[in-house]
Amino acid sequence: VLLHQPASMAAVETRVCETDGCSSEAKLQCPTCIKLGIQGSYFCSQSEAPPPPLSSGGSGAPPDPGRAGRTLGTGAGGRGHECFKGSWATHKLLHKKAKDEKAKRESVSPWTVEGDINTDPWAGYRYTGKLRPHYPLMPTRPVPSYIQRPDYADHPLGMSESEQALKGTSQIKLLSSEDIEGMRLVCRLAREVLDIAADMIKPGVTTEEIDHAVHLACIARNCYPSPLNYYNFPKSCCTSVNEVICHGIPDRRPLQEGDIVNVDITLYRNGYHGDLNETFFVGDVDEGARKLVQTTYECLMQAIDAVKPGVRYRELGNIIQKHAQANGFSVVRSYCGHGIHKLFHTAPNVPHYAKNKAVGVMKAGHVFTIEPMICEGGWQDETWPDGWTAVTRDGKRSAQFEHTLLVTDTGCEILTRRLDSARPHFMSQF
């Protein structure tokens, strides 16, 4: 990709290179961004020679050092090309996002199903089960400016730079007493919000309506809904129905009698995230749904019973899979529990399946989630074209429960536990 110099550059206000740490004047603009209508994307150059004609390359590969070096020159060290090349891994994601959004707009056929709702927005896609998306999605809801926001909230790609800085590390943070109090508060508030969502579960209610209530409940508690814009996730919670394993996007599909639905809530308050989820029955459900949901909850609680200092994180998967298999179910392998505190997702990684390679030993002061996803059929998954909705490959149902846990000197504290009852909501639905 060759950078383009806007013809009117000399006539407009001075721009600064968008690369972090560079304050040089920007004279070049990414041609692919121009083509896709992406604003900005200016980079510096010390070249005295005129730039080459506009070129978009087309390969999707990063710029060729030799070619671009000759084009931009090497005055003052050729910093302009270095800035563009150094930013390429992140910058190219802007292209992908813009192309995906364009493709989504173009692929949506006229609204011919249920009035203005399209239940087949991705032409030719073969769904694994009976569930269908209900497009278009409602607009993203705003969060008031007075509410503290995580670092990804306003990032164009929803990237968390603080998470990226620690990507690949297996070091697990020991929380201070101040951190622990921050986690207790946000986890209690997250529990309150999930309980509000639980009261809405019934046939005819849409997951969009649940998301709306969750969003308002977060704002009322001076909290940011952590999923919102996390890597561009468009909603304030995840709602996963029937064969959806996790990361379902709330839409205008009404819940139906016999569905099971998981609602996953995470709140951000005073710099800390609190995360939990539960699976609910929608009206009367069959015996298979009851057994699946009950077993999934038991998998979580048996794993929690094992949490204490000195236990290896990899042992939790052995406990979960043993109980799931004993009841004829399988354990999802693609998605795991995770460390959580000032970062939404961090070390440790907590797989839920047996014989995993998880690194680390529990110590007092660790905070993490356990969130097993248990399936009626096989554990294999695939993702819808929206890039988020994970579904079972065989179309059979999946259930999930999650708690955020603090390792104590003698065991653990369930930070997201219910305060008014020792039982999850589904047990009251029996």
Dump pLDDT digits (tens) for 51-99. 333 333 333 333 333 333 323 333 334 455 578 777 777 787 888 777 6
What the block records as the tokens of 271 is 């710099």
Indicate which CATH number applies to the domain containing 182: 3.90.230.10
Percent of the chain with pLDDT over 90: 71
In a domain, 333, yes or no: yes
In a domain, 44, yes or no: yes
pTM metric for this prediction: 0.76
In a domain, 306, yes or no: yes
245 and 371 co-located in one domain: yes
30 and 168 co-located in one domain: no
353 and 207 co-located in one domain: yes
Average pLDDT over every residue of 262-277: 99
In a domain, 73, yes or no: no
How many structural domains are present in the chain? 2
In a domain, 102, yes or no: no
Residues ≥6 apart with Cβ < 8 Å to 77: 46
Given its phi and psi angles, is residue 232 left (phi above 0), alpha (psi -120 to 50 degrees) or beta?
Answer: left
In a domain, 83, yes or no: no
Q: What is the separation of C-alpha 229 from the centre of its chain, rounded to a whole number of angstroms? A: 8
Residues ≥6 apart with Cβ < 8 Å to 139: none
pLDDT at 77: 40
Question: How far is it, in rounded angstroms, from Cα 27 to Cα 29?
Answer: 7
Question: How far is it, in rounded angstroms, from Cα 397 to Cα 292?
Answer: 8
In a domain, 325, yes or no: yes
CB atoms under 10 Å from CB of 72, counted, come to 28
171 and 41 co-located in one domain: no
Banded pLDDT at 115 (limits 50, 70, 90): low
Percent of the chain with pLDDT over 70: 84
Range of the domain at 359: 161-427
User: Which whole-number Å values give the CA distances from 313 to 64, 67, 290, 348, in the listed order?
Assistant: 44, 49, 29, 8
pLDDT at 100: 63
In a domain, 345, yes or no: yes
Banded pLDDT at 214 (limits 50, 70, 90): very high
346 and 217 co-located in one domain: yes
201 and 329 co-located in one domain: yes
